[in-house]
Structure formats: structure tokens, C-alpha cells
Chains A and B, each alone.
Chain A
Amino acid sequence: MANLELVARGVVEGFLMGLHNSPYRGFSVEFAENRPYNPGDDIRFVDWKMWGRSDRYYVKQFEEETNLRAYIVLDVSHSMQWVSDPQRLVSKIEYARMLAASLGLLLLRQGDAVGVITFNDQVRDHLRPRSARQHWQRLLRVVGNADASGTTEAAAAIRDVALRLQRRGLVILISDLLVSPELTRTALSYLGHRGHEVLVFHLMDPGERDLPSTGDAVYFDPETGDELITNSAALRRRYREAVDQATRNWVLDAARIGAEYHLLTTDTPIGIALRSYLDKRAHLG
């Protein structure tokens, strides 16, 4: 998890260094809690009343005030575990963790409240949206502990999010979308109808996009156990056509419900995904 934190921080810091306007400023805050003073803390935030009562220095911590509540909906089904080239690539779940952590940190730094829902065929973990800086550690724990297993049913998780988001919010779905397209589409439409903004990150391993030539074999779906005996070399071009058709369908469906769809392969730098988020965030004001 520490590794995930480092990576996410590195990604976000590096990403923010390149931005001209800092998202740190311009937010009003409300008091959240006190903590002991540590050398280096800004003395403006020393709670002098507490010093008067206890003769100890405490620093006031504030919960940033925001008008956006975001949910990161993370697919942790078994299919997310797959990687075509372990030497060169990370698995989709690892990529999703880094993406979720980076997004969470970015959201929190912008003063937004961010929560996480992990799911496979049902909701596995839920972290209520908060905007406190410390919330990111909790988010990291949830995300970091998200092992990929089980089958996928995104629709249930999305509906769960819809129920939890009382106000207008942002839903970020990170999934390989090896789900029931109809149910997922319906669920996403439901979110749209409720005024939520939806951002879909469709993760694909490069080996899922361009089929490796592995010859004759029994290909099986690790989630469903379905099998197909074929020669991948013979189907390579046809397979790519099927993948392209599926992604085109997702693009059209996303456009239909006002969602944004981004296809990410696991060899894509996460900064590109963060840029997609910022573009979306800019629309939200």
C-alpha cells in the first residue's frame, strides 16, 4: 500500500507540477479536528484556545468545503487480474488501483469529497466520500486491499452508488467492462438521469486489444469458465475488429447518456487519465 501511495503521489505531484493554476486555493474550509503541533506546521493554524486550556500546542485541521462529491467505482473482478506480458506490463487491477489512488488524491487536493466502491458481482467495499486530507489514507487502504476475484456485475454497484449519492455528483467507473453491456448501460443511464456526471475508464490490456499469436489452444474466461478451442493466429484480425466494434458501442452509449468514455490500455501513462478527469472537472465548476 505504501508503494501505491508513493506511486500515486508521484503521479499526481508530477502531473500538478505541469499545471499553471493550483487547485489548492479558493476553497472555504470548516473545522474538523485538532492534532498535536509538529515543527514545521504553519503557526497560523495553532489553536491558541487549546494552548490556553492545556498549555500544549495543537494545530487546527479543517475539512475543505466542496460542492462536489465523487465516487470512484472500481471493478475488482477476476478478469482485472489478467496481464498479457507480466514482464513489461502491470495487470489491469494494478493499473486501476494506481488510477483510483491518483484520482482520489487529485480530488482531495481540489477539495472535493471522494468515496470508493469496489465491486465484482456485488459491492465488496464502500468508503463514504470525504474531503479531508486524511481521507486519502483510508481510500488507499480500500483500494490497496482490493484483490481481483469473482465474476463481474457492474450494474449492481452502479445502482448502489446512485442510491448513496444524494446530491449531484461525479461517478468514475474504472473497469475492463467485461460485463453485461445492457445492464451496465442501463445502470449508467440511471445515473445520468439522476443528474450525476459519469466518467468511464475502460481498461484494456494491450494483449486484449491486439490478440497475441499463441496458436491452437483452449481459451477460457477465468470468470465464467467459458471455453473456446481456436487458433488465435487465424483470428487476430477478426478479433481486433470485434474489439473495435465493442469499444465503438461503448463510445456511442456513453455519448447517449452524456457520459465520458476513455479507453486506456495498461501501457498508457496515468497522467493521460488524470487529464481526462480534469477536463471533466472543469465542466463541473
Chain B
Amino acid sequence: MSFLYPLALAAATLVAIPITIHLLRRQTDRRVPFPALRYLQRAERKHARSLRVRDLLLLLVRVGVLLLIAAAAAGPLVGRGGARDHEPVDVAIILDNSASNARPVGNQTAFDLLRERVRVTLSAAGPADRFWLYQTVGPPLALATTATEAGRALENAQLTDGVARLRDAVIAAARGLPADRLREVHLLSDLQASNFPRVSEANPDDEVALVVMSGLTLDTSNGLVGTAQLASGLNIPIGAQSDVVASALWFPGASGGAIPADSTVLRLEIDGTTRGAAAVGWGDEAVFRVPSLEPATHGGRFEIEPSGLRADDARYFSFRVVDPPAAMWTGPDGSFVGIALETLRAGGRVASGDGGVRIYEAGDGQPLAPTGNGYRTVILVPPADPLALPRFNQLLTRISVPWALLPDEARGDLELRDPGAVPGLGEIRIESRYLMTPSGGVEDSVLLATTDGEPWLVRGRANGHLYLLLASPLVESAGSLPGSAAMIPFIETVILRWGLDAGWPATDFEAGISMTLPSGSDSVVTPGRRAVRVDGGAPFTPLRAGLYRLHYEEEGQPQNLTFAVNVPAAESDLTPLAPTDLAELFPDREVVTAGPDVSAWESAIYRNRRGRDVAPWLVGAIILLALAEIALASPAPLADRWETPA
């Protein structure tokens, strides 16, 4: 037992008053003449015993009343109190609003249930408690505020299609609490295992208790659209044929449940119009032809039949239909590269002219620089003769490409690693190549590498130009590529996919992940058709999957483009975290898990309980004792007092 105001216990000394009165009353100085004393003596003699008992009872009742008053004033706290009876505490509440919490629990979603538990926490708060209310996806809802304000802020919480990073969220929330008060972090989540990535910062020993709600009964099997990939990249030349590939995937989940059907229907929609549908088996891909479209950005959507988590039953993508890029070639006569470019030009996949892609194939008599009136991208092919390599490296230095090529003594039969980007590329052999060595700060991306790990095709930016650098000359003596069927698709891919500056968006986005919009951005229209004002260059976080429309200005002209936002892949794996893993994830932290029902949650939260406040009960007891005192001390029973003496 403890007391809120222990000093009030000093009032218990008041019991000395009735005791003293009781002891001293026989010494009263008050003398009353009473001739009929004999009757009084008779009454006293007859009832002396009951009178003594009554007096003793009165004394006990009066002492009891005073003791109870002192005890009630001291604010007694007994045992472990309810959720409301706790020491003032700072609480960081992490509400998981990631996509997986849209799964149903009874008649509501898991998110609704989690939000209800947050309300339980807030309703049991004391006036001195402070709350930090975080969502796993999106900005904080409340910081260092009262339960009432946090309750209001909670109404703004909403489900998203983003992914939660729960371990990092817990660590950050604990770090955000001031260290001078009792602290707790409440984690309300469906506890997806994939939301606890192993690679994250160390868990600090900050003595902040973590209360986790666990045990939600949720369906963990899930079907989803796995990929939605354009074979030609995001830029499709106008009139060119292009395919888009999608797959249907199935996660059996923790229960290892059977696949509900052998296949599902995969449907393609572009710009709001259905463009195709196919029955695909789980784990299989389907290829759809992209129709001819006007030059612009377009949005597409793959969808399967409802299965498990609904948010990932659709996958969105965007692409750009562009005019054929201008491409020029400089190289030795009879080069396979020149022939391939002519073929592409004849097919309308590339156009002639400057200002686009310039392919520079080093060889005898070639100038020491790409020729022409300007280019945006240069594709650099090394010379077949190693003796010309120094001159080629001079060229690289001149145009600020931070690489140098060195002869490779170990000639032999090499393959390319991950050649899937270009059809047929997996069949070719590299007979000869140069070793690429960085000559400065290199931030380039390696597009292709040989199986021994050496880069074979790299891309970077130098002097405002995009460049691509090959490690092998494209001659028959250097490998099988020039003479293979993969040569033309390879050159097409190099020009159209890697050689063009893809512009914005260069890729699809994930819900809940902040992105930087291009400068000049004015507003974004969400999939819910809500227009959001944005400042160009400022971070923007899309919360729902779907196709977004960006309005911006370019050279004073209003422009529109579409970009796609999808559910992060990690959110599709609904396997829950094993309860034992929680302790391993937070080894230096007190971790308390509570079942999903309200009583279990109330019992787990607010670790520093003060004990149950029994003052109201004491007040009730005081009233009862006071009534007993009145009854005992009354001169006669009520019936006697109301009775008129005869």
C-alpha cells in the first residue's frame, strides 16, 4: 500500500479526541439535580452491560471514522491499480498504418482494431501524461501532447499502402521521449516479420519499456501481382512495338495454406482502358503487347482476382511514348555497330540527326573525339587493337569519363552476368575485353558485368553528357555478340533504354516512401482524385498505391505526366513475427506483449502502476460508520422519539 499524500496521515492523531472524551467523560463536572434518580439508577442497573457495549462501540465507530477520514485524505493506493492508476508517464504510441493492416479482423480491419486500442490507452491516461503519436507510414500525428489532443489527432490516422519499418520506428520513438520522466513505447501492429528488417541501427539501452500488442488472428496467405515491367524500358518510341511483362505470385503465409486455385486472371489496363487479360498460374508470367499510343506519359495497371491483402492485388506502372531518338555513329567501315544502327534507322526505331545519341567506335583513323554538332549521350566502344588503347584512354580523359581501360592478359571464354535485360544476350561469349579501372571518383552504375565480376558496360554522366562505356570492342574476334541475333536488340537497348536520359520519373515509386518531385512541379492529383499542392523539389510522400498525375511547368508551358506508386514488396509477405523474435530484436529493452483483447491491453500498458485508489470506498465506509454513529448515539430509537408519551 502507498499513499498519494502521506502527510495527511497525521490527521489520524485526531483519534485521540474521542478516546480522551471517552476516558474523561466519567470525570465530568456537570452536576444535574434529579429527584427521580431512583428510576435512572434502576434503568442503568438493568442495562449497564449493554450501555458499556454501546459506549465501546461508539468509541470504536468514532475512532474508525477519524482513521478512515485520515486514510482517505492521504489517498491510499492498494495493490496494482487499474490502467488509470499509474505514475505520470511519457508514451510514444506507434500505430501501424501499413498496407497489411487492411486485413479483416472480424467485422473490422486490423487497423481499426489497433486504433481502438490506442483509444483505450488514451482513455486511461492521467492529466500529467504526455503522448507522442506516430504512424509507421506518414508524418507524426501528435508530439508531446495531452491525451485529449492525441485523441483528436488519432482521428486523422489513416491506412496507407506503405510498408512499416517497425524496429526503426520503435528505436526512433524511444529516442524522441525526454529522458527525465517515465517512458513507454506502445507498438500496435500486425507484427509482420518483413517489417523488422535485420539491417538497421543497434537497439540502444535507453530503459524505455516496449509494450507490444500481439496475437491478432489474421490471414497470412496472399496473392499479388509480382512484377510489371516494360521490356523496352520506360521510353517507348512512337510506333514501336513494346511488351510489358507481369507475374502472379502466391505467398502461402505462416499457415502454409493451400493455393486457392491453380491460376488467376491477370488483367491489363492502360489509361483506364482494359487492354488484355490472361489466366496465369501462380508464379508464372504473362506478356502483353503495349498498343500504339500518342507521345505522352501513360499509366498502366495489372490486376488479379482478390486474394489475401487487397492492396497488392494490383500493380501500377507508367511509361513514356516518345519520338524516335536521333542516333549517329562514328567508326570504322564495315562495323557491325554501323550496320545495326542502319537497321534500326530503317525500322524507324531511331532517327538521323544530331542532338541525340552519338556512338563512337574507336578504330584506325578515327578522330580523337566524337564528331558532330552535339549530342546528349555518347556510347564509347573501345578499339579492337590494344595498341590504340592509350589513344582511346586519352579520349576518355578529354571528355572527363572517369575510367581507363587496361589490356587484360587473361583472354578467354567469358559470359555476361544477369544478361536478361536483352533477349539473347545470355548466349553470347566474350573472347576479349579490357579491364575497366576507375580513374577518379566514380558514381557510375555497372549495367553489365562478366561472370568474373569485372564491369563490361558502365554508364555515367560527364561534362553534362550521359556516357556508356563498353569493355570489349564489338568485333567478331572479341566475342560472339557482333555476329549474333542479339546484336541489333543489344544496340537498340543501349540506345533506347540506357542511352536516353529517361527523365522523370525514371522508375516507379513505393507508397510511403518520400520522393523528390521535379522542379516546376505545381500539384499532384492522387488516385483518389484529390489535388495536392506541391512545391517543385520538395519531398512528397504518396500514401496510397495507384497512378498519380503531376502538373508542372516546363519552359513556361503547363505539362502533365503520370507516375506509378505501388505497395512495397515487403508488405506482401504477411508472415508474422515469431513471439520469441521480439525479445531478440530488442535485447536490452523490457518487452511486454499483450493479447489483442482490451483487458489484456489495459493490464499491459502503463507499467508503473500506483495501486488502486480506494479513497472512494473509504468515503463510503465513512458514511456508513457515520450513520452507525448517529444510530448508536441517538437518545432513543426513532419509534420512541416519534411516539407521544401517554
Chain A residues at the B interface, C-beta cutoff of 8 Å: 78-79, 82, 176, 178, 204, 208-211, 213-214, 216-224, 226, 228-243, 245-246
**Given A209-B645, A229-B26, A233-B633, CB of A220 within 8 Å of CB of B34:** yes
6 contacts between A and B (CB under 8 A): A220-B33, A221-B34, A234-B54, A236-B635, A243-B36, A246-B39
Contact A226 B54 (CB under 8 A): no
Partner of B47, one of A178, A216, A218, A238: A238
Contact B40 A219 (CB under 8 A): yes
Which of B31, B43, B55 has the most chain A CB atoms inside 10 A of its CB? Answer: B43
Contact A234 B28 (CB under 8 A): no
* Minimum Cβ distance to chain B for residue A124 (Å): 18
Bound complex: CA A18 to CA B101 (Å): 104
Say if the beta carbon of B1 comes within 8 Å of chain A: no
Contact A82 B35 (CB under 8 A): yes
Contact B40 A230 (CB under 8 A): yes
Contact A226 B636 (CB under 8 A): no
Contact A208 B46 (CB under 8 A): no
- What size tier do the contact residues of chain B reach? 20 to 34
**Given A234-B54, A235-B43, A239-B43, CB of A221 within 8 Å of CB of B645:** no
**Given A216-B28, A230-B40, A242-B43, CB of A237 within 8 Å of CB of B34:** no
Residues in A neighbouring B26, C-beta threshold 8 A: 229
Contact B43 A218 (CB under 8 A): no
Bound complex: CA A51 to CA B587 (Å): 145
Which of A214, A221, A226 has the most chain B CB atoms inside 10 A of its CB? Answer: A221
Bound complex: CA A216 to CA B44 (Å): 13
Given A226-B41, A229-B28, A239-B39; 11 other pairs, CB 8 A cutoff? A79-B36, A216-B25, A216-B30, A218-B31, A219-B40, A224-B37, A230-B51, A232-B40, A232-B635, A238-B47, A240-B640
* Minimum Cβ distance to chain A for residue B269 (Å): 95
Say if the beta carbon of B178 comes within 8 Å of chain A: no
Bound complex: CA A237 to CA B47 (Å): 11
Which B residue sits closest to A215, measured CB to CB?
A: B30
Q: Label chain B's interface by main secondary structure.
A: helix
Bound complex: CA A244 to CA B38 (Å): 13
Contact B31 A220 (CB under 8 A): yes
Partner of A243, one of B39, B47, B636, B640: B39
Which of A211, A234, A245, A246 has the most chain B CB atoms inside 10 A of its CB? Answer: A234
Contact B35 A176 (CB under 8 A): yes
Contact B640 A237 (CB under 8 A): yes
Residues in A neighbouring B42, C-beta threshold 8 A: 242, 245
Contact B25 A241 (CB under 8 A): no
Partner of A213, one of B33, B38, B54, B635: B635
Contact A228 B28 (CB under 8 A): no
Residues in A neighbouring B7, C-beta threshold 8 A: none
Which B residue sits closest to A222, measured CB to CB?
A: B33
* Minimum Cβ distance to chain B for residue A135 (Å): 32
Which B residue sits closest to A80, measured CB to CB?
A: B35
Which A residue sits closest to B30, measured CB to CB?
A: A217
Bound complex: CA A79 to CA B31 (Å): 16
Residues in B neighbouring A239, C-beta threshold 8 A: 39-40, 43
**Given A209-B645, A216-B25, CB of A221 within 8 Å of CB of B37:** yes
Closest CB pairs A-B (n = 3): A79-B35, A238-B43, A233-B635
Contact A222 B635 (CB under 8 A): no
Bound complex: CA A246 to CA B34 (Å): 17
Bound complex: CA A6 to CA B38 (Å): 36
Which B residue sits closest to A225, measured CB to CB?
A: B37
Bound complex: CA A233 to CA B637 (Å): 11
Bound complex: CA A226 to CA B37 (Å): 8
Which A residue sits closest to B641, measured CB to CB?
A: A236
Contact B39 A242 (CB under 8 A): yes
Say if the beta carbon of B32 comes within 8 Å of chain A: yes
Which A residue sits closest to B47, measured CB to CB?
A: A238
Contact B44 A230 (CB under 8 A): yes
Bound complex: CA A243 to CA B646 (Å): 12
Contact B35 A178 (CB under 8 A): yes
Contact A217 B32 (CB under 8 A): yes
**Given A209-B645, A218-B30, CB of A234 within 8 Å of CB of B41:** no
Contact A237 B636 (CB under 8 A): yes
Residues in B neighbouring A82, C-beta threshold 8 A: 33-35
Contact A218 B28 (CB under 8 A): yes
Residues in B neighbouring A209, C-beta threshold 8 A: 645
Partner of A178, one of B25, B29, B30, B38: B38
B476-496 interface code vs A (CB 8 A; 1 in, 0 out): 000000000000000000000
Bound complex: CA A145 to CA B41 (Å): 33
Residues in A neighbouring B31, C-beta threshold 8 A: 217-220
Which A residue sits closest to B25, measured CB to CB?
A: A216
* Minimum Cβ distance to chain A for residue B39 (Å): 4
* Minimum Cβ distance to chain B for residue A209 (Å): 6
* Minimum Cβ distance to chain A for residue B121 (Å): 56
B486-521 interface code vs A (CB 8 A; 1 in, 0 out): 000000000000000000000000000000000000
Bound complex: CA A173 to CA B36 (Å): 19
Contact A228 B637 (CB under 8 A): no
Contact B32 A208 (CB under 8 A): no
* Minimum Cβ distance to chain B for residue A19 (Å): 27
Which B residue sits closest to A210, measured CB to CB?
A: B645
Residues in A neighbouring B47, C-beta threshold 8 A: 235, 238
Residues in A neighbouring B28, C-beta threshold 8 A: 216-218, 229
Bound complex: CA A226 to CA B35 (Å): 10
Residues in B neighbouring A220, C-beta threshold 8 A: 31-34, 37
B623-646 interface code vs A (CB 8 A; 1 in, 0 out): 000000000011111001000010
**Given A216-B30, A235-B47, A239-B43, CB of A208 within 8 Å of CB of B36:** yes
Contact B25 A222 (CB under 8 A): no
Contact B36 A218 (CB under 8 A): no
Residues in B neighbouring A218, C-beta threshold 8 A: 28-32
* Minimum Cβ distance to chain A for residue B629 (Å): 13
**Given A216-B28, A242-B46, CB of A211 within 8 Å of CB of B40:** yes
B72-116 interface code vs A (CB 8 A; 1 in, 0 out): 000000000000000000000000000000000000000000000
Which B residue sits closest to A206, measured CB to CB?
A: B645
Residues in A neighbouring B51, C-beta threshold 8 A: 230-231, 234-235
* Minimum Cβ distance to chain A for residue B363 (Å): 130
Residues in A neighbouring B36, C-beta threshold 8 A: 79, 176, 178, 204, 208, 243
Residues in B neighbouring A210, C-beta threshold 8 A: 645
Which of B29, B40, B42, B54 has the most chain A CB atoms inside 10 A of its CB? Answer: B40
Which A residue sits closest to B633, measured CB to CB?
A: A233
Contact B35 A219 (CB under 8 A): no
Bound complex: CA A210 to CA B37 (Å): 13
Residues in B neighbouring A235, C-beta threshold 8 A: 40, 43-44, 47, 51
Bound complex: CA A178 to CA B37 (Å): 9
* Minimum Cβ distance to chain B for residue A285 (Å): 33
Bound complex: CA A213 to CA B635 (Å): 7
Bound complex: CA A226 to CA B41 (Å): 10
Residues in B neighbouring A78, C-beta threshold 8 A: 35
Partner of A214, one of B32, B35, B38: B32
